Amino acid sequence: MSHDINAVMQRAQKAARTYRNTSPADIARFLESIAAEIEHLGIDLIHTAMEESNLPEGRLTGERGRTCGQLRLFAKHVLEGSWMDAVIDKAMPDRKPFPRSDIRRMNRPVGPVVVFGASNFPLAFSTAGGDTASALAAGCPVVIKGHPAHPKTSEMVFGAMQKAAADCGLPEGVVQHVSGSEFALGQALVQHPATQGVGFTGSFVGGQALMRYAQERDQPIPVFAEMGSVNPVIFLPDTLAENGDQLAASYAGSITLGVGQFCTNPGLLLAVESPELDHFQQALAAALAEKGLERMLHLGIQENYQKRLKAVLKAKGVTTVHEPVEEVDVLEAPSALATVPADVFLDNPHLHEEIFGPFSLLVRCENIEQLSKVWQAVGGQLTTTIMGTDTDLEQHADLLDIAEQVAGRVIFNGVPTGVEVCDAMIHGGPWPSTTDSRFTSVGTSAIQRWLRPVCYQDCPDALLPNALKEANPLGIWRKVNGEFTK
């Protein structure tokens, strides 16, 4: 290995001693400084990322905005302080039969975190992306394993982070960067005793391997792996009748957005047999055919897409509705649409798996009961979407109950692609879409992954962390003797 992982993790551990007690104001300043330094890299960063990822300039400029916006949102969130979950139960010296001690608790950082950069968001989910921003916000030093698909982009962003750390007077171990594509490197990072948490966005196989490494440790640690999803979309009868063409247009856009390289790509469409479904199916195929060819992130993804697509289109009972273009340039990925009867789908688990790229499989169901069965057969999902008119939703209100159990986010009359970075967002879901459905990797709640509660009993006020001091010097919301107060 090109890196001395032990030295890296020891530096992180040393930095953790300072950084865990760095004030919210100083952490916020650091996050804002990272955002400013990334912007300061200017068009060079965009051009480097374009070269390495094949993504267009507009998309990368937008993604940079999202990355810096995310860092600034976490800066605000750190100061707001509700993430500390400060709870105070004051002493009751006269309580009978026993007095009550003064008991206070708050969330504290877990320690050094390892973040694996994701290939499909070279800025927003890589080096200084959501995992890194949330871990730094929590007070945890971060060791970033740069993604080998965009090494120069990753180094540039890391340079900006290093400069921000130095400017803010933080120890050098607060952010570190290692690169390499060997499996052993990832394993060494996850299994180093100083590592206390892992963030990953990628394949099921990759996430599973990291989880296994983490469980093999003397002290198991949490791995937050976001591993993919087919994001089932339910098209109800009345909306197919009323809005078929419009739905086809918007879903052709969602399926091909970013060459289908989103974990929220709608890979599975479910509907009940009807003439309107026939019409929608044809309209969707036609709309997809009008989309141009675009290049994927790297050869590995493109080859995998082509191989898996071929296998699905040849599977028994599957009918191709929109044929993928055969003549494609290096890295280009043709979109495709296929359909399959529900009973065939239910019998073939291979059809339930994600195909990363601009493809969707339309499952035609005999009735709503069979549709519900298909929906629940595909395992946990990041998102699920219900498309329906008011009439549809009135008639099928009970579908929400299934939706909630299938996915972390339930969307009504929209597309699953596009994940808002906000307080209420949940980008996570039941197994196998993620390793831990109780947490999100997008939105301010992502900070919760890097915290654990500590309880202080009869601690002198001077020794308490500021968040728990009697005078509430941070001015944060706290629950005191059962009442929320500032």
Active site members: 226, 263
42, amino acid identity: G
For a second copy, give the closer residue by CB, 310 or 452.
452
CA dihedral 118, 120, 126, 132 (to 10 degrees): -80
Q: Site residues for a second copy, window 193-222 (CB under 8 A)?
A: 215, 219-220, 222
**CA 253, 259, 261, 262: dihedral to nearest 10 degrees?**
-20
Q: Give 31 or 309: the residue with its C-beta nearer to a second copy.
A: 31
Distance CA 395, CA 417 (A): 26
Q: Describe the crossing of helices 42-53 and 57-80 by its angle, rounded to 10 degrees.
A: 120
Residue 80 in the binding site for a second copy (CB under 8 A): yes
430 is an interface residue for a second copy by CB under 8 A: yes
In angstroms, the CA 437 to CA 388 distance is 27
Pick 80 or 155: Cβ nearer a second copy: 80
User: Residue 53 or 264: which CB sits closer to a second copy?
Assistant: 264
Minimum Å distance from CB 21 to a second copy? 7
Residue with tokens 């009807």: 274
* Contacts of residue 169, Cβ cutoff 8 Å, sequence gap at least 6: none
Q: Which of 274, 306, 437, 466 binds a second copy (CB under 8 A)?
A: 437
Map residue 212 onto helix, strand or coil.
helix
Distances (CA, A) of 227 to 139, 361, 391: 26, 19, 35
- Interaction with a second copy in 388-427: which residues (CB under 8 A)? 390, 393, 397, 400-401, 404-405, 407-414, 418, 420, 422-426
Cα end-to-end distance, the chain, whole Å: 51
Do 476 and 469 meet the contact criterion of CB atoms below 8 Å apart? Answer: no
Residues 6+ positions from 133 with CB-CB distance below 8 Å? 31, 34, 70, 71, 74
| Nearest approach, Cβ of residue 191 and a second copy (Å) | 14
Q: Which residue, 27 or 451, is less far from a second copy as judged by CB?
A: 451
Query: How many residues of this chain interact with a second copy, rule: CB under 8 A?
Result: 72
196 vs 25: CA distance, rounded Å: 24
Contacts of a second copy in 323-362 (CB under 8 A): none
Closest CB to a second copy among residues 23, 405: 405
One-character DSSP codes across 399-468: HHHHHHHHEEEEEESS-S-----STT-----STTSBS-TT--SSSGGGGGGGEEEEEEES--GGGS-GGG
Main-chain phi, psi angles of 169, to 5 degrees: 70, 25
Q: Which residues inside 310-329 make contact with a second copy, applying CB under 8 A?
A: none
d(CA 33, CA 252): 39
Cα–Cα distance for residue pair 166/41, rounded to 1 Å: 17
Q: Is 88 in the site for a second copy (CB under 8 A)?
A: yes
Binding of a second copy at residue 471 (CB under 8 A)?
no
- Interaction between residue 87 and a second copy (CB under 8 A): yes
Closest distance of CB 1 from a second copy, Å: 27
Smallest gap, in angstroms, from Cβ of residue 231 to a second copy?
A: 12
The CA distance from 363 to 357, in Å, is 18
Nearer to a second copy, 6 or 215 (CB): 215
Q: How far is the CB of 358 from a second copy (least distance, A)?
A: 21
93 binds a second copy (CB under 8 A): no
Nearer to a second copy, 162 or 440 (CB): 440
Q: How far is the CB of 163 from a second copy (least distance, A)?
A: 29
By CB under 8 A, which span of 108-116, 133-141, 177-185, 242-250 interacts with a second copy?
108-116
| Nearest Cα residue to 414 out of 443, 386, 381, 383 | 386
In sequence order, what E strands does 102-228 have? 103-109, 113-116, 142-145, 175-178, 197-201, 223-226
Of residues 1 through 30, those in contact with a second copy by CB under 8 A are: 17, 20-21
We find the least distance from the C-beta atom of residue 206 to a second copy, in angstroms, to be 16
Question: Which span sits near a second copy by CB under 8 A: 145-153, 286-294, 364-372, 432-440?
Answer: 432-440
Residue placing its CB nearer to a second copy in the complex, 230 or 318: 230
Distance, in Å, from the CA atom of 71 to the CA atom of 130, rounded to the nearest integer, reads 8
The CA distances from residue 162 to 13, 61, 146, 170, in Å, are 17, 22, 14, 9
Mark residues 53-72: x for contact with a second copy by CB under 8 A, - for none. Answer: ---------x----------
Asked if residue 440 binds a second copy (CB under 8 A), the reply is yes
> Residues 421, 73: contact at Cβ < 8 Å?
yes
* Binding residue (CB under 8 A) for a second copy from 445, 446, 447, 472: 445
State in angstroms the smallest separation of the CB of 24 from a second copy.
16
Residue 47 touches a second copy, criterion: CB under 8 A: no
Identify residues 109-168 at the interface with a second copy (CB under 8 A): 110-111
Indicate whether 108 belongs to the interface with a second copy (CB under 8 A): yes
Q: How far is the CB of 98 from a second copy (least distance, A)?
A: 7
Using CB under 8 A as the binding rule, whether residue 479 contacts a second copy is answered as yes
